[in-house]
Amino acid sequence: MLSDADEVVKASMCTYENLKSLLECLVKLQQLDPRHLIKLMRAMTRLTKEHAVVPAIRAADAIAVLVPFLAKEKQQAVAAGQQQQANGAEPTNPPSLGSEVQLEALHALYNICNLYKIKDHIEAASMAGITPHLCRLAREGARACPSSAEQQGQGQRQDQWQQFRTHVVPMLTVMVTCSSGTRAKLWSADGVDVLLLLLRERVRKAADEYPLFFLAARTPSCVAPHKIKQTFFHSYSAV
């Protein structure tokens, strides 16, 4: 309830001690009721929407706590926890909350990294290991095409990807403009291939081409220009 309050209440709520307790609860709830976990994660997301409290949230090391929630193993663990509850006294009808928890964690990280428009935040997320998770989400999401065998399931996955895409793509493109260390992490996670995959998936604006060429211009030692050019035009012509 307090996370839905006004700026004054949120500011008084977001002391260092309170935020550390909230983040510790997030970690502990992974082994408990996943419905409580999603509620608490949503509260964290709402807090990160307030510009005034973002510095306090960053100071409480929220980035390092939230990034591990994006791991695929976390989604499977939450899904397993919910399945155990479904076999108990209170069956749960909705699908696994793992993806919902990941979406809320990603949304909170996006707010921290983008609302304040300070690249130090995305650099901190990169240091915490967010890059492989973003690239994995992009690969799995962009390739979610309905098949005859799993038409309904893949359709749901496509809808889910559109929610993730809102946060994944901007964070990846900002990383391209960050320090050489952050770009190196993006490159080591096959970031160029991911950007090309996203470009192939949806070419709507000329700005979508910018991150790839910026990466080629800023890191010529680790990206072969002729390979990028050949791959890009092949991808573009295939759209």
* H helix intervals, the chain: 7-13, 16-28, 34-48, 54-59, 62-66, 72-86, 98-114, 119-127, 130-142, 151-176, 180-188, 191-201, 210-218, 225-238
- Answer whether residue 206 shows pLDDT above 60: no
Euclidean distance between CA atoms 156 and 172, whole angstroms:
24
Cβ-contact 78, 98 below 8 angstroms? yes
8-state DSSP, 223: S
Nearest of 157, 54, 161 to residue 115 by alpha carbon: 54
pLDDT tens digits for 177-199? 889 999 999 999 999 899 888 88
Instruction: At 129, give phi and psi (nearest 5°).
Output: 95, 25
Cβ-contact 160, 99 below 8 angstroms? yes
Helix, strand, or coil (residue 81): helix
pLDDT tens digits for 108-128? 999 998 865 668 889 999 999
Give the confidence band of 146 by pLDDT, cuts at 50, 70, 90.
very low
Instruction: Give percent of the chain above pLDDT 90.
Output: 27
CB-based burial label for 222 (10 Å; 0-12, 13-18, 19+): middle
- Give the pLDDT mean for 85-100: 49
Is the pTM higher than 0.85?
no
Higher per-residue confidence, 118 vs 163: 163
Higher per-residue confidence, 116 vs 61: 61
